[in-house]
Amino acid sequence: MSKKLNLAIIYYSATGTNHQMAEWAREAAQNEDVDIRFKRIEETAPKEAIEQNENWKKHLESTKSIALAEQDDLDWADAIIFSSPTRYGNLSSQFKSFIDATGPLWSKGKLVNKVVSAMTSAQNPHGGQESTLLSLYKSMFHWGAIVAAPGYTDEVMFAAGGNPYGISVSAGGDELNDTTKKAIAHQVKRTIEIAQKIKA
């Protein structure tokens, strides 16, 4: 019997939106025959900035027991689901720092053929979600990874906003609903299916 697929779900979340999306990804993955690592990216924002936002402060406190993502998680994984909020149409600095630290793995070819898909959020529907996902995927091309974007491979993608690069929502809006949850499940299933074919 072949070894199970290793799936890493790695996210950064300030006030909870991307944490919820990652949780739904984990829930969907638990229905598949995979081993899962669920990790959060370390908070590196100045304490003064966090203290000024009650939701940020509360979320950080409520998720401190979740294990921090490490470079070893990327090495271990066959497939990776990432989730990061948008910062001015780009990745959050916390998430970018994690990606920037992958040089040692990259130089040894250990990120080649990882199957990667990503999700994001922004303050409003035109806050840079697509450019954020594309900026992440550019790094994946340098890795030699396989990008498993959901595209329009299921009708639920249209209902969930129609972002072909990955599920995206407006943070604090009403888009964290059952439709988004179903679309995330589709994205996860597609990522796993592609990774299983690559691994085979």
Tell me the pLDDT tens digit for each residue of 135-189: 999 999 999 999 999 999 999 999 999 999 999 999 877 889 999 999 999 999 9
pLDDT per residue as tens digits for the range 104-130? 999 999 999 999 999 999 988 889 999
Indicate the pTM of the whole model.
0.96
Looking at the structure, give the CATH architecture of the domain made up of residues 5-199: 3-Layer(aba) Sandwich (3.40)
Domain ranges of the chain: 5-199
3-state secondary structure the chain: CCCCEEEEEEECCCCCHHHHHHHHHHHHHCCCCEEEEEEECCCCCCHHHHHCCHHHHHHHHHCCCCCECCHHHHHHCCEEEEEEEEECCEECHHHHHHHHCCHHHHHCCCCCCCEEEEEEEECCCCCCHHHHHHHHHHHHHHHCCEECCCCCCCCHHHHCCCCCCCCEEECCCCCCCHHHHHHHHHHHHHHHHHHHHHHC
